[in-house]
Amino acid sequence: MKTRRHDNHISIPVESEDAERKNAILLQYIKEKVNQLLQIMGTKPLRDEELNDESLIAIDPIGIIAESFEQVLEHLKESNRQLQLARDYLQAVFDTAGVGISIIDRDLRIIKCNEKQKELLVAGVSHIEGKHCYEVYCGIDSPPLICPAIETLEMERPVFLKEVTKKGRVFQIVTSPLRDSAGTITGVIEVSLDMTEKKRAEEAMCQAEKLAAVGQLAAGIAHEINNPLGNILGYAKLLLMDQSITEAQGEKLKVIVEQANKGGQIIKGLLEFSRQKVPVFEKVSLNECVENALRSLGKGNSIRVVKRLGDIPYVMADPRQMEQVFHNILLNAIQALEGSGAIEIESKVIGGSIEVSVRDSGPGIPREHLSRIFEPFFTTKPVGNGTGLGLSICSELVKKHGGSIFVESEIGGGTTFSIIIPIGR
Amino acid sequence: MENETVINLDVISLDIRGQICPACLLISLKEINKHKGLLRNGEANLIVRTDHRDATRTIPDAAVAMGYAVSVEKKKGYYEITVGRKDEDQKA
């Protein structure tokens, strides 16, 4: 068919045959376009009898469909706006959720994950999307033997893992199948709840309960042993006063007295540890407590003590207990130095607290011992030379003052104990 | 054309029995366009009566694309197509 493009303004000259031919072409064009529009609207084309020009113009199909399209577009725009809104809400919920959420596809690639998930497991990694979840989350090259995501994909049901350790953190994980509108599983939604703190708290609780039991037992035994020990000491001293014993017997008696005294010291330590003495708070200068502790340890040997006691405010504390803390820590430092070296004592204000640090130039504490040194009865000294209670008493007392105690040590680099006591108490 | 429009409180009735496609759709669309404001606000429903079976597909399809809620009910000898606002508290 010979086609001719029509002009923008339509005039209908009826005089000439040429004009009629032109009109017929134009009308055909309009009909075609109307039918095209009707097809888009999903209905049938105009019938022949409807194709005469007058009724066609009377119905105004192009006008009607144009107006309808306007409504379709309005509806689309509004739908888009609402979708965007829903998307924004969903994204906000997704990102502010207290749990890590990941959407993973059938190939175990991460499609999307929320901010919490990134914070928990992928700090510092960019472009997580598209990577395998086991690489990014578990830090391994192939899927692990026990993987809730794989199980969910295979069994087509949610899977719950009570405890999984990933990158040093403990998680509870729930995976649920992600289905498309046809019900086919296209991936997995994995929700990770960080249990690390809870787990630590539970372990600490368990430890504390164990210690309390041990403490009570120790106190009971100590008390019972104290009486016979007192008798041994008393009778040995009586015998020592007896003029009829030989010098050799006297020497042996002195050993008995000495050993009984040592036993008494151990028992005293045990009782101090187990006796939950409530601190009597008063205005205290921690600098004075340090000075008193130093005085009680006396001078002697060649240990140099450097004091850098700052201008620190008073705190509310039990002076005798604080003195005992510094005494134990200083004693520990002196023993670590084994006769030569230096101890630095520093006190200063840090934020709302006072920090007193005691640094010795001793051999340092091995890493495997560091985490245990505040445990009661933990000692590296030969049997009979220490009860392993000194530092655990310190730790208990500092805790009772709302403070904390830290240790930093390096083999060959000395050891620093820091005691932090809040000023506000 | 003998289709009549009656505005009866919140019901706009359109009787196009006897009409077939594509006129059915065009007339219905024209009516929807005309009462756009009322229909969008939920102040009125448009009830189209038709006996042309194809129209029970074309009219709802077009109206849904335009963002309306549509229901079709079979009556004795004709269909009743209701077009109204799309939301939760729309009248049945």
> What is the widest separation between alpha-carbon atoms in chain A?
163
Residue B50 near residue B59 (C-beta atoms within 8 A): yes
A270 shares its domain with A286: no
pLDDT value of residue A4: 47
pLDDT, tens digit, 9 for 90 and up, residues A228-238: 999 999 999 99
A325, A355, A356, A359: which is closest to A344 by C-alpha? A359
Model confidence over A295-337: pLDDT tens digits? 878 765 578 889 999 999 999 999 988 998 999 899 888 888 8
Calculate how close chain B gets to A63, using CA atoms only, in Å. Answer: 9
Please name the amino acid found at residue B19: Q
User: ipTM of this predicted complex?
Assistant: 0.81
pLDDT of residue B47: 93
Residue A26 lies in a domain: no
Rounded Cα gap, residues A26 and A33, in angstroms: 11
Give me the CATH number covering residue A236.
1.10.287
Within 8 A of A42 by CB-CB distance, chain B residues are 57-58, 61-62
Instruction: Lay out the sheet containing B5-8: strands in order across.
Output: B5-8, B11-15, B45-50, B79-84, B69-74
Is there a single domain that holds both residue A239 and residue A291? no
pLDDT in tens, A124-154: 777 888 889 898 888 888 888 888 999 999 9
Q: Are residues A166 and A249 in the same domain?
A: no
Torsion from C-alpha of A138, A142, A143, A146, nearest 10 degrees: -80
Please state, in angstroms and rounded to a whole number, the distance separating the CA atoms of residues A405 and A321: 14
pLDDT for residue A223: 81
pLDDT at B63 over 50: yes
Distance between CA atoms of residues A100 and B38, nearest Å: 47
| Integer Cα distance of A105 and A100 in angstroms | 16
Q: Which residues of A184-220 are buried (b: 16+ CB within 10 A; e: fewer)?
A: eeebbbbbbebbeeeeeeeeeeeeeeebeeebeebbe
Say how many domains are in chain A: 3
User: How far is Cα B51 from Cα B21, in angstroms, rounded to an integer?
Assistant: 11
What is the distance between the alpha carbons of residues A104 and A110, in angstroms, rounded to a whole number?
4
| A112 CB burial (10 A radius; 0-12, 13-18, 19+) | middle
**Is residue A75 situated within a structural domain?**
no
Specify whether the CB–CB gap between A28 and A53 falls below 8 A.
Answer: no
Nearest to A44 among B21, B30, B62 (CB): B21
The Cα B27–Cα A24 span in angstroms is 26
Chosen from B33, B38, B41, B57 to mutate, greatest number of chain A CBs within 10 A: B33
A326 with A207, same domain?
no
- Of residues A229, A244, A325, the one with CA closest to residue A279: A325
Question: What are the pLDDT digits (tens) for A27-61?
Answer: 888 888 888 888 887 777 777 666 666 667 777 88
Q: What percent of chain A has pLDDT over 70?
A: 91
Alpha-carbon gap, residue A72 to A76, rounded angstroms: 6
Asked if residue A266 and residue A344 are part of one domain, the reply reads: no
Q: Are strands A404-410 and A353-360 parallel, antiparallel or unpaired?
A: unpaired
The pLDDT, as a whole number, for residue A50 is 64
Distance CA B15, CA B13 (A): 6
Domain residue ranges in chain B? 1-51+79-84
Residue tagged 């209908």 (tokens): A12
Q: Nearest by CB to B58, which of A43, A78, A79?
A: A43
User: Three-state secondary structure along A98-130?
Assistant: CCEEEEEECCCEEEEECHHHHHHHCCCCCCCCC
Does residue A141 sit in the same domain as residue A187? yes
Mark the ranges of chain A whose per-residue pLDDT is less than 50. Answer: 1-7
Among positive and negative, which fits the CA dihedral A258, A260, A261, A267?
positive
Quote the percentage of chain B above a pLDDT of 70.
84
A108's tokens = 């175990």
pLDDT at B89 over 60: no
Phi, psi of B52 (to 5 degrees): -100, 115
CB contact under 8 Å between A65 and B29, yes or no, is yes
Q: Report the alpha-carbon distance of residue A417 to residue A370 in Å, rounded.
A: 11
Kindly report the CATH number assigned to the domain that includes residue A386.
3.30.565.10
Residue with tokens 């002196």: A334
pLDDT of residue A111: 92
- Best B1, B29, B48 member to test A by mutation, with max A CBs in 10 Å, is B29
Same domain, A267 and A300: no
Same domain, yes or no: A322 and A410: yes
* DSSP letter assigned to residue A52: S
Model pLDDT, residue B92: 37
Structural domain that includes position A218: 200-274
Contact A325, A296 (CB under 8 A): no
Same domain flag for A323 and A415? yes
Cβ pair B65, A76 in contact under 8 A: no
- Which two three-digit tokens encode residue B76? 């004795």
Instruction: Identify whether B22 is preceded by a cis peptide bond (ω within 30 of 0).
Output: yes
Query: Does residue A267 sit within a domain?
Result: yes
B54 contact residues in A (CB cutoff 8 A): 43-44
CA dihedral sign, ordered B84, B85, B86, B91: negative
pLDDT at B90: 40
What's the confidence (pLDDT) of residue B91? 39
Closest chain A residue by Cα to residue B53? A43
Q: Are residues A301 and A417 in the same domain?
A: yes
Q: In sequence order, what are the residues at sequence separation of 6 or more whose Cβ sits closer than 8 angstroms to the Cβ of residue A215? A: A273, A274, A376
Same domain as A288, residue A264: no
pLDDT at B8 over 60: no
User: To probe the interface with B, which of A38, A50, A51, A71 has the most B CB atoms within 10 Å?
Assistant: A71
Q: Kindly report the CATH number assigned to the domain that includes residue A160.
A: 3.30.450.20
Give the Cα separation of A263 and A276 in Å (integer): 21
**Contact at 8 Å (CB) between A303 and A339?**
yes
Give tens-digit pLDDT for B15-43.
Answer: 888 877 777 888 899 999 999 888 888 88
Q: Examine the domain organization and report whether A235 and A268 are in the same domain.
A: yes
H/E stretch holding B79? strand B79-84
